[in-house]
C-alpha cells in the first residue's frame, strides 16, 4: 500500500473511531451513577434531582442526549465542567498545556535515558553492564508510580527542600504572561530567565517520575535493535576497515537502531498519558489527568467525555504520525498489515 493511501485510510477511519470511543464512554457513564451526581446531595428530594436532570437535558432519551452532546462538540459548546467550575473548553485549554508540558519533559527523560541505557547495554551484550542496565530500566516500568513519587517527595521536598509540588511559584507565575500555557515556552517568550528556571524546577520531579517509568520500553527496544544492527554485515565490514568501535557504534549501528525504536515511542506516549493521572495527583499538577480522575470519582460527565475525546484524538494522531514516520524511515515495513 502506498503511504499516501495509507494515511488517507487512517484519516478516514479517524472520525469513526472517535465516535465509537465517545459512544462507549457515554454509555459507560450512564450505566451506573448519575451524570449529575456531582451536584447531588443526599438531602435532595427526588423533585430537586429531576430539576437538575432537566437543566442538563438528562430527561431526554439517551440517543437524543448523545446527539445534543455531539452537536455541542461540533459547535464549540462542550458543556460545563463541574469539577473545575468553568466551561469545559476553558478548562481544557488551561489544563492541556500543563499535561503536555509534563509529558514532553518526561519524554525527554525517557528517550534520552532509554536510548542511552539501550546503547550502553546493547553494545556490551550479555556482560555485567548489560544485565545491570536491564534490571535498572525494567525496574522503572515495575515501580508503582505513586509509591516512587512519594519517596522522591520525602527526600527532595521535606528533607532537602530542593523542590516543591505544583507547577510554578505563584509570585513568579504572576510576573509573566502565559499565552501558550506551557510555562517554559511562556518564560522564553517573555525573556524572563527567573521564570524559566522556576518552571524547570517544578518540572524536574514529575518528569523524572514519569520518564523513569516510560524509559524501559525505549531502552529495551533500543537494545534489541542495536544488538541486531551490530550483527549486520555492514558492521563487520566497517570493523574490518579498521574503523574504531566507537565510530562504528555512533555512525552506523546506533543510527539504524533508532529507526525501530521510534515505533515504541507511540506506545510510550500512551504510557505517559495515563501515567500523568497519578503523577498529577501527587505533584499537584493542574493538568487533564487529575481533572479526569476527579471527574470519574465525582461523576462529572461533561469532563469525562471531553477528556476521552481529546486524548483519543491525541493518541490516534501520535500513533499515526509514528507509523508514517516509521514507514518513511524503513521502507521494508508493509503498511496496513
Partner 1 sequence: MADISAAPTRLTIGPGPWAVRTRRFGELARKVLSNPTTLIGFVIIVGLLAIALLAPVVTTPNVPDPYQMPRDWGARDAPPGTPGHPLGTTSTGGDVFYGVFWGARTSLQLSVIVVGITVTVGVIVGSLAGFIGGKVDEILMRTVDVLLAIPELIFALAIAAVLGPSFGNIIFALSVVFWVKYARIIRGQIIHVKQNEYVDAARVTGDSKFRIYLKDVLPNSVTPVMVQATMDMGGIVLTAATLSFIGLAQAGLVEWGVLVSDGQAGISAGKWWASTFPGLMIFLWALAFNLVGDGLRDVLDPRTEDR
Partner 2 sequence: MGSTDRGRRLRWWTIFTALTMVVAACTGGTTDTTGAEATVPGATTTPGDTTPPDTGAPDTTTGTTGTTGGGEVVNPGLYVHAADDEPLSLDPAQVAAGEAGETIIIQVYERLVEIGPGGPDLIPGLSTEVPTVENGLISEDGLTYTFPIREGVVFHDGSELTADVVKYSWDRALTMDLPEGNSSVLSDLVASTEVDGNNFVVTLNERNAAFLNSVVTAAVASIVSQEAVEANGGVEAGVVNEFMASNAVGSGPYALTAWNRGENIQLEVFADYWGDPAALDVRIDQVADSDVRALGLQAGDYDSIETDPTFIGDLEGAEGVEIFSGDFLLEPVHMGMNMNIPEGALPPEDTIPVDFFHDVNVRRGFNLAFDYQAFVDGAMAGLGGPIPHYLPQGMLGYDESLPTFTQDLAAAQEAFTAAGYWDEGFTMTVLAEEGGIFEIAGLVLADSMAALNPAFRINVLAVVETQFDSAHAENPFQYAAWIKNADPFADPAALFSAYIHPDGEWGAVHNFRNAYADADQVASLVDEAAVELDQDRRVEIYQELAQILYDDPVWLIPGNERALMAHRSWVQNFQMNPLWPRPSIKFQYFDK
**Half-sphere exposure at residue 181, Cβ-oriented, CA atoms within 13 angstroms:** 17
Of partner 1, partner 2, none, which one does residue 65 interact with (CB within 5 to 8 Å by kind)?
none
Closest CA to 152 of 166, 162, 142: 162
Footprint of partner 1 on 136-165 (CB under 8 A) = 138-139, 141-147, 150-151, 154, 158
Q: How far is the CB of 64 from partner 1 (least distance, A)?
A: 21
Q: Which of 16, 31, 74, 85 binds partner 2 (CB under 8 A)?
A: 85
Q: Total binding residues for partner 1 by CB under 8 A?
A: 64
* Diameter over CA atoms, the chain: 86
CA distances 318 to 20, 49, 304, 315, Å, are 19, 41, 21, 5
Contact 312, 18 (CB under 8 A): yes
Q: Does 278 bind partner 1 (CB under 8 A)?
A: yes
Q: Does 197 bind partner 1 (CB under 8 A)?
A: no
Query: Which part of the chain contacts partner 1 (CB under 8 A), choosing from 72-80, 128-136, 193-201, 240-248?
Result: 128-136
**Half-sphere exposure at residue 202, Cβ-oriented, CA atoms within 13 angstroms:** 25
Instruction: Give whichever of 100 and 176 is closer to partner 1, judged by the CB atom.
Output: 100
Instruction: Give whichever of 79 and 268 is closer to partner 1, judged by the CB atom.
Output: 268
Closest CA to 273 of 316, 326, 324, 303: 316
Distance of alpha carbon 136 from alpha carbon 128, whole angstroms: 12
Q: Total binding residues for partner 2 by CB under 8 A?
A: 73
Backbone angles phi, psi at 195, to 5 degrees: -65, -40
Query: Which part of the chain contacts partner 1 (CB under 8 A), choosing from 52-60, 102-110, 202-210, 311-319?
Result: 311-319
Q: How far is the CB of 246 from partner 2 (least distance, A)?
A: 6
| Residue keyed to cell 465542567 | 81
Q: Does 44 bind partner 2 (CB under 8 A)?
A: yes
Footprint of partner 2 on 14-43 (CB under 8 A) = 32-34, 37-43
Q: Which of 221, 253, 262, 302 binds partner 1 (CB under 8 A)?
A: 221
Q: Does 224 bind partner 1 (CB under 8 A)?
A: yes
Q: Which of 92, 235, 273, 302 binds partner 1 (CB under 8 A)?
A: 273
Residues forming the site for partner 1 (CB under 8 A): 13, 16-18, 20-21, 24-25, 28-29, 31-33, 126, 131, 134-135, 138-139, 141-147, 150-151, 154, 158, 213, 216-217, 220-221, 224-225, 227-228, 231, 260, 263-264, 267, 270-271, 273-275, 277-278, 281, 292-293, 296-297, 304, 307-308, 311-312, 315-316, 337
Amino acid at each position: 500500500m502506498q503511504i499516501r493511501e495509507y494515511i488517507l485510510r487512517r484519516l478516514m477511519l479517524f472520525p469513526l473511531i472517535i465516535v465509537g470511543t465517545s459512544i462507549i464512554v457515554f454509555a459507560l457513564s450512564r450505566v451506573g451513577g448519575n451524570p449529575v451526581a456531582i451536584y447531588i446531595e443526599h438531602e435532595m428530594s427526588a423533585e430537586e434531582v429531576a430539576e437538575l436532570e432537566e437543566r442538563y437535558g438528562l430527561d431526554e432519551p439517551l440517543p437524543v442526549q448523545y446527539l445534543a452532546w455531539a452537536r455541542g462538540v461540533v459547535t464549540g459548546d462542550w458543556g460545563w465542567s463541574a469539577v473545575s467550575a468553568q466551561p469545559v473548553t476553558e478548562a481544557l485549554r488551561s489544563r492541556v498545556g500543563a499535561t503536555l508540558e509534563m509529558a514532553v519533559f518526561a519524554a525527554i527523560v525517557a528517550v534520552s535515558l532509554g536510548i542511552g541505557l539501550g546503547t550502553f547495554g546493547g553494545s556490551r551484550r550479555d556482560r555485567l553492564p548489560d544485565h545491570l542496565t536491564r534490571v535498572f530500566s525494567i525496574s522503572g516500568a515495575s515501580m508503582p508510580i505513586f509509591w516512587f513519587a512519594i519517596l522522591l517527595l520525602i527526600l527532595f521536598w521535606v528533607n532537602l527542600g530542593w523542590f516543591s509540588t505544583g507547577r510554578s511559584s505563584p509570585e513568579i507565575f504572576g510576573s509573566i504572561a502565559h499565552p501558550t500555557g506551557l510555562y517554559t515556552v511562556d518564560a522564553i517568550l517573555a525573556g524572563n530567565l527567573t521564570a524559566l528556571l522556576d518552571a524547570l524546577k517544578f518540572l524536574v520531579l514529575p518528569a523524572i517520575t514519569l520518564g523513569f517509568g516510560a524509559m524501559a520500553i525505549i531502552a529495551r527496544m533500543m537494545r534489541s535493535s542495536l544488538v541486531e544492527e551490530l550483527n549486520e554485515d555492514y558492521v563487520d565490514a566497517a570493523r574490518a576497515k579498521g574503523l574504531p568501535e566507537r565510530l562504528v557504534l555512533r555512525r552506523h549501528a546506533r543510527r539504524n537502531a533508532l529507526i525501530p525504536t521510534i515505533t515504541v515511542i507511540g506506545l510510550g506516549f500512551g504510557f505517559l498519558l495515563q501515567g500523568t493521572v497519578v503523577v498529577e495527583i501527587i505533584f499537584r499538577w493542574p493538568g487533564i489527568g487529575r481533572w479526569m480522575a476527579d471527574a470519574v470519582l465525582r461523576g462529572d460527565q461533561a469532563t469525562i467525555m471531553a477528556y476521552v475525546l481529546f486524548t483519543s484524538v491525541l493518541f490516534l494522531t501520535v500513533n499515526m504520525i509514528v507509523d508514517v514516520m516509521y514507514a518513511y524511515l524503513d521502507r521494508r515495513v508493509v503498511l496496513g498489515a
